[in-house]
Amino acid sequence: MKHITTVASSCIRKGEGIGCGECQASCQSACKTSCTVANQSCQNKGEKVYRPQGRKG
Amino acid sequence: MVHAFSVDGRYFALDADSGAVHMLDEMGFDAVSAIEEKGWDAAREALMSKYGEKDTEELLEELKQVKEQGLLFSYDEDLHKDGFDLGKPTVLKAMCLHVAHDCNLRCRYCFAGTGAFHGQRLLMPLEVGQKAIDMLIARSGSRKYLELDFFGGEPMMNFGVVKALVAYGKERAAEKGKTIRFTLTTNAYALDEESIDFLNREMENVVLSIDGRKEVHDALRPTAEGTGSYDISLANAKKLAQRRGQQKYYVRGTFTRNNLDFAQDVMRLAEEGFEQISVEPVVLPASSPYSILEEHLPCILEEYDRLYRLYLDSRKNGRWFSFFHFVVDLDGGPCIKKRLSGCGAGSEYVAVTPDGEIFPCHQFVGREGFSMGSVLTGELDEEMRARFAANHVLAKEACSSCWARLYCTGGCAANAQAFNGRLDKPYSLECAMERKRLECAIAAYCEERETDDNI
């Protein structure tokens, strides 16, 4: 493709086997004044927040 | 719905219903924007006059291929139909315990009336906290992971009760085969060696309130005696963050109209060595001298652009840190149910005052008409729970045409109620800032993957 590069395909999981509710309540997760869920990961997926090379931990 | 946007001279597109993200060149950006605005046929005409027939057809063919894969201009009927029902709330999974309606600081922008929530200065007795934990566990159904946040005021003013409640909660949860994840929000002013060790051992997450630059912080976060709190809070917070390996905490600042150059505060915190940073806009009524107003918005959006560049350069050049709002999980984020239901306030998540009264969340504490019951009697207003559960993003008219709705989940109900007098009409300033931050987050995700594929 010359004009468009897909960086992430569908990230919104739908259908069977979702909605277990075990993930962290979003407002509880960090700042207590924000409703964003975009930076949370699915509990069943495990922590997979981006870490560039060389980042410790 | 597709949102095509530009950050720092680069072009991106988010396909709202599927969540797919694309990078575009300028021509692709023009095409996606035109198709979204006027449809394929009209877009073709407009593009031909600018790029000529051959290039336009080649471009549109590419976009059609991506569309056929369900990654562009996708349409999920379930996300657009009326009367979407997520079901009644069944379990409680998270609780915010206001163990202290008192504080050792007197922050001038405090939404909680400098800790007392516009009422008496009180500490939560141990028995009230134990009743709250009993209630959380009893109403948690089959949920394995529960959450308990120690909040205030300043929870370290009731540290003895915090310690006792952690021990009690762990024991009671273990009896039922559950795990409570404890978290605590503190201004760090009263931390010492013992408390830092305790928090690092027992807390899944710690939120440390520091505003960034010393002059910004001290102007608005004096102690009860009127002195600056920055030096002591900073030293304690740094110690805590270092000892927990810079993981699972946030240093969390607030910006007001007085520091619309808040990127400098974020970078100051990074320079101090913090790796998990969140700096949030203050939420106050327009009458407050610190509030954010509509007229401040252009400046704030520009500041997020400035922060975006500083953030990526810093990460690339050896000072890695995470900015809460510039992180987005595009390959394993929350499922659709979570994206629709949001924070769970009032349904799965409640706040408990020092005397055991229950409110939908910490922001609602003390607001007339939002008392939901008491942990002392075990009463919980199920009608109110159902009302909050039904207030999901698909039920909000203002969100129906917004590309960001599956990322922000329709905004904060407490802010909606405070600014618009109703739960289902989001606070528009919050929406505008959230959309901008999300654009930056998506752009950062894309840009870093271009040069580094280590996830």
CB pairs under 8 A between A and B: 231
Record: contact B334-A40, CB cut-off 8 A: yes
Distance CA A19, CA A17 (A): 7
In the stretch 110-149 of chain B, residues with CB closer than 8 A to chain A read 143-145, 147, 149
Region of poorest pLDDT, from A34-48, B289-303, B386-400: A34-48
The single-letter code of the amino acid at B196 is: I
Distance CA B450, CA B448 (A): 5
Region of poorest pLDDT, from B75-89, B218-232, B236-250, B271-285: B75-89
Whole-number pLDDT of residue A26? 65
Whole-number pLDDT of residue B84? 66
Q: How far is A16 from chain B (nearest CA, A)?
A: 11
Q: Which residue has the tokens 């810093």?
A: B314
Residue of B nearest to A47 (CA): B332
Nearest to B170 by CA among B210, B208, B198, B194: B198
In the stretch 1-57 of chain A, residues with CB closer than 8 A to chain B read 1-14, 18-19, 21-43, 45, 48-57
- The string over B199-230, giving b where at least 16 C-beta atoms fall within 10 Å of a residue's C-beta and e elsewhere, is bbebbbbbbbbbbbbeebbbbbbbbeeeeebb
Q: Which chain A residues have a beta carbon less than 8 Å from that of B339?
A: 12, 37
* Contact assessment for residue B275 and residue B246, using Cβ atoms and an 8 Å cutoff: yes
**Could you give the ipTM of this predicted complex?**
0.90
The first and second tokens of residue B434, run together, are: 């959230």
Distance CA A10, CA B288 (A): 43
pLDDT-based confidence at B452, cuts 50/70/90?
low
B151/A contact by beta carbon, under 8 A: yes
Q: Which chain B residues have a beta carbon less than 8 Å from that of A47?
A: none
Paired residues of B216 in beta bridges: none
Nearest to B66 by CA among A50, A9, A37, A25: A9
Whole-number pLDDT of residue B83? 62
Whole-number pLDDT of residue A48? 38
* Contact assessment for residue B185 and residue B209, using Cβ atoms and an 8 Å cutoff: yes
B333/A contact by beta carbon, under 8 A: yes
Q: Are strands B145-151 and B179-186 parallel, antiparallel or unpaired?
A: parallel
Q: Residue B386 burial by CB count (10 A; 0-12/13-18/19+): exposed, middle or buried?
A: middle
Report the mean per-residue pLDDT for chain A: 69
Whole-number pLDDT of residue B78? 84
Record: contact A37-B441, CB cut-off 8 A: no
Distance CA A36, CA B426 (A): 13
Q: Residue B404 burial by CB count (10 A; 0-12/13-18/19+): exposed, middle or buried?
A: buried
What pTM, to 2 d.p., does this model score?
A: 0.94
Candidates B335, B409, B431, B438, partner chain A, best to mutate (most A CBs within 10 A) = B335
Using CA atoms, how far residue B36 sits from B29, B54, B66, B408, in Å, is 11, 21, 15, 22
* Contact assessment for residue B121 and residue B102, using Cβ atoms and an 8 Å cutoff: yes
